[in-house]
Structure 1
């Protein structure tokens, strides 16, 4: 399958972002719809990763258009009624009844920041271990999904406070306060 040039995939990524913003759809929803991992999808639309033609076609199909039309910034957006059924239903849901809470709505940011200011992360911890230290109401609000903690720790400003690494023999990422981590620990594979 043919891969687009770097300029083309940057422009295409910008167009995808315009479409997502116009229809008030999150990139996570689109990534799920085209069966692509959210991190890979985000890297792709941010221009950090190439876009395969087959992926361009899937994205365009999601919006009920052709990939070359979606890539043209001079063309108008399709009308909501012209979107494929699943996409149209998703747009309606997002605009009228967004049931997803932002991180700040359930106290995760505040609880995680409190842990970062304490001593719990002086020792290496996984996001699952960090989850156990959060207040019970926060754990319930985020459905005990440790990946939400991972997401916040991988983004600024928290990513500037912690080091993410793997420990020999473990498949999970571990986090530790950056000023505590030693640079010569032989059990750590930095990532």
Structure 2
């Protein structure tokens, strides 16, 4: 490992330490310095180089000089000494909590399985799809499934229909979508992939 690689790894550990100390996430830090959560994650992992400007921005979030931030022996600042913007972000994160990252991609894998097995050949909701997934995903939110459906690459194959069931969006594979886009609301429900699952209490 080169000296630069070693420094990147050590700096990444410092960023992780500060985030953990104040209960912040990569996403929070990204927003505070106008960067992406993926970029912050790469910094934490020590897989990307750092410009002096970015190092200064990160250190400023925690109200320390950049050269002190990189020093593992330098004491962490007290929360009351942080900027109002950073303290506000800390309070917001305390209020909403931290979503557990799906490092195994089980949710995405299960969604892809359902798509391949024909569960989206007819209109369905994220809540309905959730009921067919691995039991280990019981505590995950259907909103996370919606997020996956709305993003690449799945949004290239899946369409969100104009109609809803209450506040639940309906999704179907694009290749089967035309009849449901043209039919009435009654015809749409008649063609739905339904079971006896009550989705009224699901997000």
Band the TM-score falls in, shorter-chain normalisation = 0.5 to 0.7
Equivalent residues in 2 for 1:26-175, closer than 5 Å: 26-95=25-94, 97-98=95-96, 101-102=99-100, 112-118=108-114, 120=116, 135-136=126-127, 141-142=143-144, 144-146=146-148
Give the distance between the partners of 1:33 and 1:23, measured in 2 at CA.
Answer: 14
Contact 2:14 2:70 (C-alpha < 8 Å) held by counterparts: yes
Contact 1:63 1:84 (C-alpha < 8 Å) held by counterparts: yes
Structure 1 residue 77 displacement after superposition:
0.6
Deviations 1:102-128 (A, max 9, x none): 478xxx965x44434446279xxxxxx
Q: What secondary structure is seen at the aligned counterpart in 2 of 1:8?
A: helix
Deviations 1:70-128 (A, max 9, x none): 11111211000000111112222323x12565478xxx965x44434446279xxxxxx
Contact 1:17 1:45 (C-alpha < 8 Å) held by counterparts: yes
Larger radius of gyration: 2
Contact 1:57 1:66 (C-alpha < 8 Å) held by counterparts: yes
Stretches of structure 1 lacking an aligned partner (at least 5 in a row)? 123-128, 151-163, 165-171, 175-191
Give the distance between the partners of 1:41 and 1:103, measured in 2 at CA.
Answer: 15
Give the distance between the partners of 1:67 and 1:147, measured in 2 at CA.
Answer: 40
Contact 2:25 2:98 (C-alpha < 8 Å) held by counterparts: no
Give the distance between the partners of 1:9 and 1:143, measured in 2 at CA.
Answer: 35
Contact 2:62 2:82 (C-alpha < 8 Å) held by counterparts: yes
Stretches of structure 2 lacking an aligned partner (at least 5 in a row)? 131-140, 158-203
What TM-score do you get using the length of structure 2 for normalisation?
0.54
Structure 1 residue 8 displacement after superposition:
2.0
Tell me the matched-pair count.
138
**Alpha carbons of structure 1 residues 149 and 30: separation in structure 2 relative to 1, 3 Å:** same
What TM-score do you get using the length of structure 1 for normalisation?
0.57
